[in-house]
Chain A
Amino acid sequence: MSKQHNDDSIEKLLSEMPNINDKKTFDDYYEKVLEEINIEDEPKKKKLLGYCQQYQLPLHFV
């Protein structure tokens, strides 16, 4: 038999929708995120290193 849905029954159904679980672990994400951030920071570091060498600044600026 067909059920007659109304706003309340739709809202109730929606609130019963489950969370979807992730199978990956914290370490899986941490490793990749760290790798990505380091890759993105690399050109910046090289540029700073170039300035330090050009103007004979201490390397702790990098």
Chain B
Amino acid sequence: MKAVFQELYEKYHQDLFSFIYYMVKDQTTTEDLVQEVYIRVLKSYDTFKGESSEKTWLFSVARHVTIDHFRKYGKQKKHTANQFDVNEHSNLLKDQSPTPQEIAEKSEEIQDMYKCLDECTEDQRMVIILRYIQQLSIKETADVLNWTTSKVKTTQHRAISVLKELMLQREGGHTE
């Protein structure tokens, strides 16, 4: 088992950690969830059929673990893309959650974007992280999420619109 684990760890650990971190934005929670992903993966590794790539399979397990976490702790955001209203989120500038060093070292725009991601729905955030931060294709993202490629495209488009509005609002806030 150690050899399988080591291979998965070496190939995918940083991507896996980063994906979950961007979803939950907490170091300890991310470590716990990554550990849970490895447990689930190693317990079912013998049944992996190779229908998708190892990476999309791993991210698919990570997605389920993250969703289970949100369900368990009731932190899933209730608003949907259609109900989103930037005026309801004017307190975004007051966000006090700790920022990881990797983000803090980047430009103000990147730091703003990191905070704006909180205002996307879980689905939108997953698509954005998989597509832009993990650089997965539309098809790979659809495989991970078990969605159609059309749904990925629609969710991505809506997420970009939401982020654009939020970033404009934040930029306005900085200049005032």
Contacts and interface: CB of A to CB of B under 8 A. Distances in A.
13 contacts: A13-B110, A14-B113, A14-B163, A17-B103, A17-B106, A17-B113, A18-B103, A20-B100, A22-B31, A26-B9, A26-B13, A29-B38, A30-B6
Interface of A: 1-7, 10-11, 13-22, 24, 26, 29-30, 32-34, 36-37, 40
B42 A17 contact: no
A5 B35 contact: no
Interface in B60-100: 100
Give the interface size bracket for B toward A: 35 or more
Given A6-B164, A10-B164, A29-B38, A20 B18 contact: yes
Contacts of A6: 164
B39 A17 contact: no
Contact of B172 (A2, A16, A19): A2
